[in-house]
Structure 1
Amino acid sequence: MDPAFPAGWDWLARLAGAESLDEVRLRAMLRSVRLTPARPEALVAFGTALTDGDRVRGDARAREEGVGILLRALALDPASPEVIGALAGTAFRLSHFPEVLRLIRRLHRIDPQSANAYAMRSVVATMLGDFDAAIAHGRCAVLLAPGEATPWINLALGLHALQHPEIAAHYNRRAARLDPGGAVGRFNLSLNLLAMGELARGWRLYEARWRMGGARTPDHAPLWDGSDPAGRRILLTAEQGQGDTLHFIRYAPLLATRGARVEAQVQPSLVRLVSLMPGVSAVHRSDEPPPLCDAVIPLLSLPRLFGTTLDTIPAAIPYLRAAPADEARWRDRLAGEHRVGERRLKVGLVWAGDSHAAHLSANAVDGRRSLPLAALAPLASVPGIAWISLQKGAPAAQAGTPPPGMDLIDWMDEVTDFADTGALITQLDLVISVDTSVCHLAGGLGKPVWVLSRFDACWRWLIGRDDTPWYPTMRLFRQERPGDWDPVIARLAARLRIVADHRVPAAPAL
């Protein structure tokens, strides 16, 4: 290849990208840009690569350089839909939604028939919780570009969020046909199917996640394929959030009963808790090198390998347990607290999840699932409650100024990990939580837990149910309209009053 030939470097960059050789791809793009610094298309390709995927989250210098390169391209060609679209895509990945909308309006002025602009506007509306607008913009996009997969995928996102997974599934299938090698449509289809309870097909398609966004399956040992595990050392690895680990670690004892030596590599905050599980031989931190093993399997691939359906969900509880010494410590602490008293209902409270500021979609979801503690003021009017904060992270500061009438006990600065939190929960009568890791912890411990669930609920809670086959002691209090928490809190307060007045069970009948 002639080193002074830009098209050759462009070709090498495309080839390296297809093989996931990111550093080779970036070096080839850089050579092309240096040879032709005034070529907007080369600048767009390089700038987008620098700001895409994991680089947006983990490399601030590359991100700033990429934005600067895209701005150079815009200066060279201010009316280029490709350049404006690339800048809008970068702003979207950085969660700068006002800037995305500004760029989309600029793009529409240049090209009123831009399907890309409508498709991007659709997904931004979904992220912001305006699902009706997401569907309207998505429909415009598919009318303008019916042969492209992205408009159908983005329209399906809005429809799924508006609780129409069956229609969303139809559109994601269409996207998959239009882009046979694409992973996003297939992964989103898996979420549609899982939400509808079609678990077997959903788990199979859920494996498409490994072809998205730089995700990599563990490669230090062979992947367990579901074959006889007896006598083998099998490592279960956490791959997503702490709540996902708590949810799917339930499969560890099942694997142990089949004769495997089960080890787990999980988030540091979960090491001590998972170490207490029966059937788990050893637990390792996820921020350390993996141990030697015969096979490895990510936790969220286990339901597929176990053939889990709605009828076979492993829901024997408790599958988590606390250390007896930790339980005794919190039992004594509560017994010595004058604000508790023997006749009061002890209720733990979580009002916000992790903001996941570095992860686009998770951050958008957190904006819809979390709420300020002040929004729970109606709960303070229920008599006979001893309120105990279980909140961690930045929102925990709100515990210092609870709603009037809510005398909130806050010991969470003494809690160091989920084993501590779990031990405290074992001494409570009920946990009330938004859809975050603590609700999985309480459910896995077999404690009554009421979940405040956003309108576009997580796939695992299925459609239209106030119970869940995953956790027999859990009750879901769902939003009936996107973003509208007031009726949900009113229903929950009314139910809590009944439980507190009559000491009826807080959990569904088992």
Structure 2
Amino acid sequence: MLPPDDVQPAVSPAPQPAMVPMPASLMLAIATRAEEAGRLDEAEPLTAHLLRALPQEPRVLHLAGIVAFRRDRRVQAVELVEQAIIREPSNALYLRNISEMYRVVGRLDDALAAARRAVALQPSDPTILHNQAVIHQERGEVEAALTCARRAISLRPDMAGAHFAVAEAQLARGDYAEGWEEYEWRFRLPGVPPLMPAVLQQGIQQWGGGTLGQGTLLLIGDQGFGDVIQFCRYIPWVLSKGQPTVLATSTEMAPLMRRLFPDLPIVMNWSECPAFAAYCPLSGLPRLHGTRPDTIPPVLRIAPDTDRAALWRTRLDLAARAGDLGIGIVWAGRPTHRNDRNRSIRLTTLAPLAAVPGVTLVSLQKGEMAAEAAAFAGSGRLIDAAPEIADYEDTVAAIAALDLIVTVDTSVAHLAGAMGRHAWVLLPYAADWRWFRQRPDSPWYPSLRLFRQVAPARWDEPLAEIVNALGSFSPAR
């Protein structure tokens, strides 16, 4: 039975050893190792303690900035690392890291200046040169990006990021010969998920374009939905070789691929995958095909399902709206896309379109950003069709019922292009390689028209161009 509260125990407890404070250098080392290993829940409290104890120590300020950046507290991160640089201005590591932070927050001039200072201090660091290459790429300075990336490769030949920077620059320039070869490094980039489960890939080589005898070739719809739409045009070329072929793709893409290739076996789960002798991602086919800008295969025309097309014509009967021009809009892509912060916009950015007389906007936006349509729809100039869109088959049918699509760089741009429909694509200043540089059209999709930013983060000019172009736009009804 426990004694009452006012009764002392007969035996005094053994004295506890005094707590010995951990040396700051040891705590900093532990916090640094935790951050580098991605254990932010462990690194953050240690770093916070160090920052309170040593608020002027540059190593602590730098580490606290790195942790804050990885926690998406970007303003705080930049301020902390800036303070570290003030106290230790010749530390190339601090300058290297803040150059990347500046790039991500859109301060490209500051990013380039910091990268150049870092290179001057540490010219043999390939990571600094790679960072500088990416900054030049986002500034639209493709030649400078190539120079920096090649220097990084000369210092570290197996640096995947630098090779991929060369690929993006060369593909954007239209130099497809080197571009496709360097593009193969994309699967070696840090953090990129494997193409397939290791157990399936073990001991099997990527297809080189030749014959496999009796074996089956597995094509894989890799990367995003737009990539599958863009590169599926190579499947007839593969099938022409007479090789037994299976396509592995997502549940979202499978219905479209089945209508394009009714005789091609398609699997949507790795557990359903048959034995195969070789594999190839769809995005690897242009290299094997030897594609150059003037030999891009024609797009495979996607047509809507007849019944769904009739349903969507009824849903979007714009004749009942006094003959308004029906414009489908998409303003945001997948947030996990590595360049989404540059390509996606807010719905309010498209407000100038709603002000054009005789226009009805139709939201085809899916995902989290679709919620923005609710407030905008109150203006009476927007129909929110997204709740009725269950899959890509619905998106195809909706596009077919509209006169024009205005979209940022998303899979809907690819889809409209594959349908041969009028689509105007809003592109960031440093657009993805597939849209080339400067040109207003696309050899990948002849029905698309490209509207580009004249400077990073500025959408006013391309939107003004679109509003102006609407004045002479005459759709085929």
TM-score, normalised to structure 1, is 0.80
Larger deviation, residues 465-474 vs 377-386: 377-386
Alignment partner for residue 211 of structure 2, among 228, 232, 252? 228
Partner of 1:327: 309
Give the structure 1 partner of residue 328 of structure 2: 348
Tell me whether 1:194 sits opposite 2:174 in the alignment.
no
1:146 aligns with 2:123: yes
Deviations 1:212-241 (A, max 9, x none): 214334341422222126764322223322
| Structure 2 residue aligned with 1:371 | 345
Q: Cα distance 1:189–1:80, how it changes in 2: closer, same or farther (>3 A)?
A: farther
Given the superposition, is the C-alpha separation of residues 41 and 371 from structure 1 closer, same or farther in structure 2, using an over 3 Å criterion?
closer
3-state DSSP of counterpart to 2:256: helix
Q: Which of the numbers 460, 477, 480 marks the counterpart of 2:434?
A: 460
Q: Per the alignment, in what secondary structure is the counterpart of residue 169 of structure 2?
A: helix
Letter in 1 for 2:128: P
8 Å CA contact retained: 1:44, 1:73: no
**How far 1:456 sits from its partner (Å)?**
1.7
- Are 1:373 and 1:403, in contact at CA under 8 Å, matched by a contact in 2? no
Deviations 1:255-301 (A, max 9, x none): 12222343332233222222222266133336866443332222222
- 8 Å Cα contact 2:58-2:83 kept in structure 1: no
1:180 alignment partner in structure 2: 157
Alignment partner of 1:441 is 2:428: no
Given that residues 252 and 262 in structure 1 are in contact (C-alpha distance below 8 angstroms), is that contact kept between their aligned partners in structure 2?
Answer: no
Q: 2:138 matched to 1:161?
A: yes
- Per-residue deviation, 1:37: 12
Q: 1:451 aligns with which of 425, 431, 441?
A: 425
Q: Does 1:47 align with 2:54?
A: no
Shift of 1:313: 1.3
> Counterparts of 1:280 and 1:309 in 2: how far apart (Å)?
29
Post-superposition CA distance 1:174-216 (Å, at most 9, x none): 0111122322111111111111111121111112222221433
Distance 1:333 1:459 in 2: 36
Q: Is 2:408–2:426's contact at 8 Å kept on the other side of the alignment?
A: yes
Contact kept, 8 Å, 2:32 with 2:43, in 1: the verdict is no
Are the counterparts in 1 of residues 34 and 42 from structure 2 also a CA contact under 8 Å? yes
Equivalent of residue 299 in structure 1, options 282, 296, 314: 282
- Cα deviations by residue, 1:158-182 (Å, 9 ceiling, x for unpaired): 2111111111101110011112232
Q: Judge conservation of contact 1:377–1:403 (CA < 8 Å) in 2.
A: no
Amino acid at match of 1:487: E
TM-aligned CA distance change 1:267 to 1:382, over 3 Å: same
| Aligned equivalents of 2:257, 2:67: Cα separation in 1 | 39
Question: How many residues were matched structurally?
Answer: 449
Residue of structure 2 in register with 1:103 after alignment: 80
Q: Write out the 4+ residue segments of structure 1 that deviate beyond 6 Å after TM superposition.
A: 72-80
Q: Structure 1: which 5+ residue stretches go unaligned?
A: 1-35, 52-61
* 1:9 alignment partner in structure 2: none
Per-residue displacement from partner, 1:323-361 (whole Å, max 9, x unpaired)? 2222232233334x66446x44322111222222xx6xx
CA distance in 2, matches of 1:40, 1:181: 34
Identity of aligned residues (%): 33
- Once the two structures are TM-superposed, the CA of residue 386 in structure 1 deviates from its matched residue by 3.4
State the Cα distance separating 1:89 from its structure 2 match: 3.8
Query: Given that residues 166 and 196 in structure 1 are in contact (C-alpha distance below 8 angstroms), is that contact kept between their aligned partners in structure 2?
Result: no
Distance in 2 of aligned mates of 1:48 and 1:317: 47
RMSD: 2.9
Which has the greater radius of gyration? 2
